[in-house]
Amino acid sequence: MRYGLLGEHLPHSFSKEIHERLGLYRYELIELAPAELGDFLARRDFGGVNVTIPYKQTVIPWLDELSERAKAIGAVNTIVNRNGRLLGDNTDYGGLAALLRRTGLDLRGKKVLILGTGGTSLTARAVAKDAGAGTVLRVSRSGREGAISYESAVAEHPDAQVLLNTTPCGMYPKTEAMPIDPARFPALEGVVDVIYNPLRTRLTQRAAALGLKCANGLFMLVTQAVLAAEAFTGATLPEDTAERIFREVLTEKQNLVLIGMPGSGKTTLGRLLAARTGRPFVDTDEVIAARAGRSIPEIFQAEGEAGFRDRESAVLRDLGATGGRILATGGGAVLRAENRAALRQNGLLLLLDRPLADLVPTGDRPLADNIEKLRALYEARLPVYRAAADARIDVSGSPEETAEHILQLWRND
């Protein structure tokens, strides 16, 4: 039988690898233009499919039956073919409810703003109401379809306590976008973004910087996939299946990003980690030099530090957009906020914290080619490194010991 995901554009999707990790069937990404959707459903040559943007409501007229939950919500993300009859269900509900529990967000009595008016927003509204939210409002650019505008949300609902983003704003490949600034809501307690690619959107990065509970949508995606698989096959999967696959996919999709002072061992350790994990290793300074067609000192000489930093930002923006690599960054890579955001979206940032006394100036580093420059850099940059890092790594041991420590930290994160 055929199983897969229906959508119009699916380059961002992780669904194939998630479903195939279950080991129950082959799963494919089925991209259909709107004019093709009806013919596909009419053929009924599949055992089960999931449904994503923009078809979660569009598919309903083609179905023979809706589950009570899908009927109440008015959106379908799972279709099961039962002896030629198409049953529409909504496993996003269970996925989002599980994500909220995992994030530690209690919606009882809270004012919840749901960003978006598509099919997933209807699911989010149902989840919020069933969780006992006091007020639930949907927010859209137009303010139509029973929603309020973004302007009204900020002006009239600054006491909102939870934001749920169901829009594609900030999704790969347009990862620099953010639908609204959570700082505009001083009573806010938490932010959940159903986007899972990138792993950390600008919205949740901003929420984390504000000290709020926050999460992206990967756990929701995995949980709804497990529920859909059970509906497709009739199987009952082990209780820990969603958590296990979530951890596996997160690890697979993350970059390990090494940050720290020049001479802290990022390149040596990066190559060692790449060898142990089988992942590609990328030295960002090497990419900058290759793109420029000249060495780092030559770039500094011709364009100054500002010119080099602009080139560096462009490279980090490209490398940070996708995951699965070991990245060794230049010493100044995280000085710009835009670079930190680009690296964080799919990366675990690890600070190689080598003491100043163990750092050695070298002539190929224009900003650290003598001990005085090195000391000034260290004093200025260390607070930035510590604020940017997800974890600090003691590099007093051998590179092999440090690599093993990082791998243990990563697998248990």
Record the tokens describing residue 315, joined without a space.
């490279």
Element spanning 89, H or E: strand 85-89
Picking from 215, 216, 225, 217, the residue whose alpha carbon sits closest to that of residue 245 is: 225
Question: End-to-end CA distance of the chain, in Å?
Answer: 37
Respond yes or no: is residue 129 known to be catalytic.
no
3-state secondary structure of 186: coil
Q: Which three-class secondary structure string do you get for 267-319?
A: HHHHHHHHHHHCCCEEEHHHHHHHHHCCCHHHHHHHHHHHHHHHHHHHHHHHH
Q: What dihedral angle (degrees, nearest 10) is formed by the CA atoms of 305, 308, 313, 315? A: -160
3-state secondary structure of 48: strand
Q: In Å, how far are 165, 249, 269, 316 from 180, measured between CA atoms? A: 9, 28, 38, 24
CA 247, chain centre distance (Å): 13
Picking from 393, 390, 392, 356, the residue whose alpha carbon sits closest to that of residue 376 is: 356
Rounded to the nearest 5 percent, the helix, strand and coil shares of the chain are 45, 15, 40
CB half-sphere exposure, 6, CA atoms < 13 A: 26
- In the block, which residue shows the tokens 């590609």? 280
Options 56, 111, 253, 266, the catalytic residue: 56
Record the tokens describing residue 49, joined without a space.
């499919």
Catalogue the E-assigned strands of 90-179: 111-115, 135-140, 148-149, 162-165
Q: What residues act catalytically? A: 56
